[in-house]
Amino acid sequence: MSDLYTINKSPFEKNSLDSALKFSKAGTAVLLYEDAVYAAVKGTAVEEQIKAAMGDKKVYALGPDLAARGIAEDRVIDGVELVDYTGFVDLVEANDKVQAWV
Amino acid sequence: MKLAVQVNEGPYQHQASDSAYMFTKAALEKGHEVFRVFFYHDGVNNGTRMTTPPQDDRHVVNRWVELAEKYDLDLVICVAAAQRRGIVDEGEAERNGKDGTNIADKFRISGLGQLIEAAIQCDRTVVFGD
């Protein structure tokens, strides 16, 4: 049993990333999309939180939403996997449940 | 995989209706079944045919309609949310004494039971918006 958590808000605007990670279990897949892609950028205040989460969880970011915000792929934290919308669909299929953290 | 999609936000205000559309399109193109798209809260505004964006902007409403025509999608608007926001079909116009309708083709107005049924019927329910 695995869950996909989707997060759509910047961690500098809302605490949905905090909440999602707090309630997540080992093996949870976390997808950052819309403004949540800012959490995937290197050198921010949440970089360590994302790196810690990757210890037992998989973190993904939606590539088109990074591109829409002018964030080049080389600015993304190492280990965060980029997916497109088809990859988003694959994540939904690969996990048993999808929980949107708003 | 059988999917239900829930859209909670209006067009041109929040990215949710764009994200939901892109996700739904990708799922359909991969051969998955989208059992229903349920428009709730401000999401009901995705279903008015009166929307007229500038010509060089995406037409969020028509985009849903075209996807529904291509894949025979069931686009359902929540009735209580629609009444509050003035989304009207013929039945609602008659029931509430309105002088016209504005619902877009391929959309229909129904109740929350349709969302619950979709969640029961489908393998996954994916929620977009706040």
Q: Which of B53, B36, B46, B48 is nearest to B14 (CA)?
A: B46
Q: Is the pLDDT of residue A1 over 90?
A: no
Tally of domains within chain A: 1
Using the beta-carbon criterion (under 8 Å), do B15 and A92 form an inter-chain contact? Answer: no
State pLDDT tens for residues A3-50: 999 999 999 999 999 999 999 999 999 999 999 999 999 999 999 999
- Which residues of chain B make contact with A98, given a CB cutoff of 8 A? 124-127
Q: Are A57 and A50 in contact (CB under 8 A)?
A: no
Hey, where are the domains in chain B?
2-128
What pTM did the predictor assign?
0.97
Q: Is the pLDDT of residue B58 over 80?
A: yes
The pLDDT of residue B46: 98
Q: Are A86 and A77 in contact (CB under 8 A)?
A: no
Q: Tell me, what's the ipTM?
A: 0.97
Encoded tokens for A77: 């934290």
Region B75-97 average pLDDT: 98
The neighbour count for residue B81, using CB atoms within 10 Å, is: 19
| Interface membership of A1 toward B (CB under 8 Å) | no
Q: Does domain B2-128 have CATH number 3.40.1260.10?
A: yes
Report how far residue A16's alpha carbon sits from residue A7's, in angstroms, rounded to the nearest whole number. Answer: 7
SS3 (DSSP) at B6: strand
Q: What are phi and psi of A56, to 5 degrees?
A: -130, 10
The CATH number that applies at residue A62 is: 3.40.1260.10
Sequence letter at residue A12 = F
| Containing structural domain, residue A9 | 3-101
Region B94-114 average pLDDT: 98
Report how far residue B88's alpha carbon sits from residue B5's, in angstroms, rounded to the nearest whole number. Answer: 22
Sequence letter at residue B54 = P
Chain A's closest residue to B20, CA to CA, is A85
Report how far residue B130's alpha carbon sits from residue B117's, in angstroms, rounded to the nearest whole number. Answer: 21
How far away is chain A from the Cα of B93, in angstroms, using its nearest Cα? 34
Of A33, A84, A93, the CB nearest to B1: A93
How far away is chain B from the Cα of A79, in angstroms, using its nearest Cα? 24
Q: Is the pLDDT of residue B74 over 90?
A: yes
